[in-house]
Amino acid sequence: MTATAVKKEGPASVTPAPTVGSHVSNYWRRVRGGDIGALPAVIMLLVLAVGFSIARPSFFTAGNLANLFTQGAAVTLIAMGLVFVLLLGEIDLSAGFASGVCAAILANVVTVLGYPWYVAVLAAVVTGVVIGTVLGLLVAKVGIPSFVVTLAGFLAFQGVVLTLMDEGANIAVRDDVLVAIANRNLSPVLGWTLAALAVGGYAAVQLLRHRNRSARGLLTDPIAVVAARIGGLAVILGVAVYVLNLERSRNVLVVSLKGVPIVVPIIALLLVVWTFVLQRTSYGRHIYAVGGNAEAARRAGINVDKIRISVFVICSGMAAIGGIVAASRANSVDPNTGGSNVLLYAVGAAVIGGTSLFGGKGRVLDAVLGGAVIAVIDNGMGLMGYSSGVKYVVTGVVLLAAATIDALSRRRAAATGVR
């Protein structure tokens, strides 16, 4: 293979360099072909936000926006972990109560035993990792379907939480650091600084990749598209930080309430880390491969069992972080932490965001977008004064709609060959 001689006629350089127009039309063709990604979630989010804002002006206030973030945080974090399991076409029904168990451990360690917050956080995350290892071993090595293993976990962990909670009493979480996670805000300056760092970092990564690829003569997205991506992120972050930095206290003289909730940069950091793992490391590549075709992955020398165990570990570990945030927000842990609708909301968030239940397709960002949709429904319908009953029905319908879109787009993708 004489590299320099054949490079000129390589398939990559046969296709004409893409322009902004061809980029847009390519995207449109993929969407029509069934590769819709997170588009339904984004549209749903916009429609819901506009609808609720018209019906209840109080929806579109800085105070409520901050509420949205803290309300949706726990579910979003659990959903981010679930994406990994869903990518293999597996399911983790125990993630909700796993987060409950971890929260109970947290509360016991910090309040009952009186250890500092970081010991408690570590204990909670380690608990999550252990739970995930056991689930993963049962699925990968013993060969029990994940649905059954995690259904058993769902039941058993519920009991574990009850036992840890001394048969129903709730344990308060009063540690300042832990309470701050979901209840305090960054100072406005720090908010702006982090937003600027995020945009700057994203721009650096995008531009470096663009330069690297064009230097090697590979196909690149047009620079205008790259600039638009960076600009888009800057606008979104800018508006969000601006709104969250507005004073939202009812009485400024008593207490000032402004800034980005601390949980937001935590979610953003985990989003960046997990996205990096999935998109830029060979481990992430192998997760997609096993989800797409486990046999091909095995023949390529990938240790399928190890990948399978690891995604359950990540899922339960993220559930632990979700449990910590839930405990922080409620200032306490009770036997129902991580129970009731948490798991279904988390699965719903991942699927609404565009992660396929059939495996092989999904991103961590899906969980965040889907989590936002769920939080908006929950919050908006609460403001409209609907009962929990109606909320559940609507959320169920939205989940069903998302799963329907997933199934239909798969059929369409199979027909057109795009995916």
Among 289, 349, 351, 373, binds other proteins (CB under 8 A): 289
| Nearest CB to other proteins, comparing residues 214 and 404 | 214
Q: Which residues, at least 6 apart from 231, have a Cβ–Cβ distance to it below 8 Å?
A: none
Q: Does 301 bind other proteins (CB under 8 A)?
A: yes
Q: Does 412 bind other proteins (CB under 8 A)?
A: no
Minimum Å gap between C-beta 145 and other proteins is 22
* Contacting other proteins within 237-266 (CB under 8 A): none
Phi, psi of 37 (to 5 degrees): 55, -130
Cα distance between residue 259 and residue 180, in whole Å? 13
Q: Does 51 bind other proteins (CB under 8 A)?
A: no
Residue 147, token pair as written in the block: 């649905």
Minimum Å gap between C-beta 412 and other proteins is 12
Q: How many residues does the chain have?
A: 419
Minimum Å gap between C-beta 284 and other proteins is 8
Stretch that binds other proteins, among 175-183, 222-230, 235-243, 278-286 (CB under 8 A): 278-286
Q: Which residues, at least 6 apart from 268, have a Cβ–Cβ distance to it below 8 Å?
A: 198
Contacts of range 404-410, beta carbons closer than 8 Å, 24 or more positions apart: 405/36, 405/40, 406/351, 406/354, 406/356, 406/357, 406/358, 408/34, 409/34, 409/35, 409/36, 410/34, 410/356, 410/358
Minimum Å gap between C-beta 53 and other proteins is 38
| Nearest CB to other proteins, comparing residues 52 and 274 | 274
Q: Does 21 bind other proteins (CB under 8 A)?
A: no
Among 204, 296, 397, 407, binds other proteins (CB under 8 A): 296
Residue type, 265: P
In DSSP notation, 63-106 reads: HHHHHHHHHHHHHHHHHHHHHHHHHTT---TTHHHHHHHHHHHH
The number of beta carbons lying within 10 Å of the beta carbon of residue 280 is 11
Q: Please state, in angstroms and as integers, the Cα–Cα distance from residue 230 to each residue in 1, 174, 206, 260, 363, following that order.
A: 39, 40, 8, 21, 19
Q: Does 273 bind other proteins (CB under 8 A)?
A: no
Cα distance between residue 21 and residue 5, in whole Å? 32
Among 12, 24, 156, 208, binds other proteins (CB under 8 A): 12
Minimum Å gap between C-beta 44 and other proteins is 24
Among 46, 55, 300, 408, binds other proteins (CB under 8 A): 300
Stretch that binds other proteins, among 134-142, 165-173, 282-290, 364-372 (CB under 8 A): 282-290
| Nearest CB to other proteins, comparing residues 276 and 386 | 276
Cα distance between residue 164 and residue 170, in whole Å? 10
Q: Does 308 bind other proteins (CB under 8 A)?
A: no
Q: Does 306 bind other proteins (CB under 8 A)?
A: no
Q: Does 169 bind other proteins (CB under 8 A)?
A: no
Among 250, 282, 385, 389, binds other proteins (CB under 8 A): 282
| Nearest CB to other proteins, comparing residues 56 and 361 | 361
- Are 56 and 388 in contact, with CB atoms under 8 Å apart? no
Q: Which residues, at least 6 apart from 96, have a Cβ–Cβ distance to it below 8 Å?
A: 78, 154, 319, 338, 339, 342, 343, 344, 346
Count of residues engaged in binding other proteins, rule: CB under 8 A: 41
* Contacting other proteins within 190-229 (CB under 8 A): 212-213, 216, 218-219
Among 15, 21, 142, 251, binds other proteins (CB under 8 A): 15
List residues bridging with 185 in a β-sheet: 261
Name the residues that contact other proteins, by CB under 8 A.
1, 3, 6-7, 9-15, 212-213, 216, 218-219, 280-282, 285-286, 288-289, 291-293, 295-297, 299-302, 360-361, 413-414, 416-419
